[in-house]
Chain A
Amino acid sequence: MARHLRSFARRLFGVTRPPTYYLPWITRPGLECTLVLSNVEARFKPEYSAGPFPVSIVQYDAVGRAAHRYAVTLKDSTDTIEVPLHPAVGGCGFVTINGSRLHSDLYVTLSDGHDYTATHGRGEFVEGYPGLVRLLMTAACAVASTVGRTLPVFTRNQYVYLGHDSRSHVLLMNLSNVTNWIRASASAGDRRLGSLLLRLPPMGAYLLDVASLGSEPASGTTVWRLRLEGNAWFNLYIVGAGSRGLAGPLSLMHVK
């Protein structure tokens, strides 16, 4: 029902959803973030398999600015290109990838120079709201934020893990051209823990330290339910951190 209502509202207000492939990025001192691009699936499409495949990349920083742009060309369907990403404001965000007839999974890797972790991106969309709707949404969210709330148009549920020497943080990405007020609330069993109201600029991102939502466990691994509500489309990646927290080696992982 909610899905149909949202779909109707999108048509009514002229919200666009251009298909977009995106990947998260994180940089830290001593942590390199590199994209791995290929189009290996193209070889199953004889009419398109010859290449070349030009690919353009836009790297959005945490405040939603297009901080860096990259352009590469895959020679053919067996070619693989690594694109090291530059540091940018906030140390996290997402990149959008544009390449015609690009069908394969694209990867993002994090490396401390010793080894690397990797995950793939997502072929989804970015929401575009017309100017008047952006104004109305901004006003409504400003009112809701005074009581620590947002307009819960989109909701995501995600388990997060806190262990003695590991935990899963969450990289939130605002995939829209409107300011996204995202309310994050954690619970464990029947117990409510903390909540936070985050303000993500259009195309911006936020690395949520899950420990900021409640007391850390003394031992063992604790699993919390994290509920995320936002007024516009957003998505998330899990950020795995070891004993050195966000200053050490990290992993990124997509969620359903």
Chain B
Amino acid sequence: MSATFYERGYDHHVEIIHQRDAEARRRLESLEVTLYDAAGVLLATPKVDPAQEILNLGALVADTTNTSERVMVVLDARYDEAIFPYRPHHYAYLHRAGSSAPPLYYAINAVLGGVPDRVGATNINNFETYVFRQGPFAQRHSVLLGCLARFVPAQVQVFTYYGSRRIARDVTLAPKCHVEVPLAAEHEGERLARVEVKSLFRLLSYVVGRREDTGDLVLFDHLFTYVK
């Protein structure tokens, strides 16, 4: 599955097929979309035409929910397995209407849902990091985390590094819950240098940067996954 977050006020378009696929493959066999609030409550399972190429998340969320909070959007997309056995790797475009910030384009997380001991992952894909610039920029950072597990809560450790200091924070996410974990810009005079996210299995995770004054997104990206 793939998943992302939608925040009200953003023009947010998801490419539901893989843009590099050969033309014959550019039709999904099925696409199921589910929307969850931060407490893991199922908000909607809107019907989506799998023949379209671009999904307008703003319209979808506005048409099917009445929430103004952040929504976790889960995409379960499949091609006809006889034609193409893999799932599409979605990309997306987002920009806050009226913002002077540039739009962002990003790769949507591929996430393991279901039952953790059956997911069959062979690489370390649950240990991620991201480095930050040291200048005094007027932006604040955070990580957005979501749990797609069906039955068990996920234990997550978020480590932030300031010079030689490491600050640990534990987060527990119940199934389908999501949270934004703010990262302090400074600690004891040292700037935020790096964040690490560790969990028992692959979670939905994005590193986020927002303008301090308006909150407009200037960073929305995956973290770096250790794969070796």
Contacts and interface: CB of A to CB of B under 8 A. Distances in A.
Q: Do A and B come from one complex?
A: yes
Interface stretch (A141-149, A198-206, A209-217, A238-246): A238-246
Given A117-B219, A157-B20, A256-B89, A104 B102 contact: no
B211 interface: yes
SS of A interface (majority): strand
A161 B134 CA distance: 32
Interface string A22-48: 000000000000101010110011000
Contact of A242 (B15, B91, B100, B135): B100
Contact of B13 (A34, A111, A223): A223
Interface in A184-240: 221, 223, 238, 240
A244 B101 CA distance: 9
Nearest to A253: B105
Interface stretch (A12-20, A132-140, A164-172): A164-172
Contact of B228 (A44, A105, A114, A118): A44
A45 B228 contact: yes
B103 A166 contact: yes
Contacts of B218: 115-117, 251
B18 to A, nearest CB: 7
Given A38-B131, A223-B54, A240 B103 contact: yes
B113 to A, nearest CB: 22
Interface in B124-148: 129, 131-135, 137-139
B139 A115 contact: yes
Interface string B96-131: 011111111111000000000000000000000101
Given A159-B19, A166-B11, A251 B139 contact: no
A44 to B, nearest CB: 6
A92 to B, nearest CB: 15
**Residue of B105, B107, B224 ringed by the most chain A CB atoms within 10 A:** B105
Nearest to B134: A82
A242 B107 contact: no
A54 to B, nearest CB: 19
Closest 8 CB pairs of A and B: A253-B105, A115-B139, A240-B103, A166-B103, A240-B102, A166-B95, A251-B102, A105-B224
